[in-house]
Amino acid sequence: MNARLSLRLLLVLDILMLVAGVSLSFFDGYLLPDTLAEWKEAQLDEDALSLTDLILLALWLGWLGGYLVSVVGLFLQQRWAAWLFLAITVLGVGFTLSEPSVYSGLLAAIDAVALLVQGAILAVCFGTDALRPENPVA
- Per-residue pLDDT tens digits of the chain, which is 138 residues long: 698 899 999 999 999 999 999 898 888 777 888 888 777 777 766 666 677 778 878 888 999 999 999 999 999 999 999 999 999 999 888 888 877 777 888 888 999 999 999 999 999 999 998 888 764 554
The confidence score (pLDDT) of residue 138 equals: 47
Specify whether the CB–CB gap between 14 and 118 falls below 8 A.
yes
pLDDT digits (tens, 9 = 90+) for 75-91: 999 999 999 999 999 98
What's the pTM value of the predicted model, to 2 decimals?
A: 0.83
The confidence score (pLDDT) of residue 11 equals: 96
Q: Where in the chain are the domains?
A: 3-127
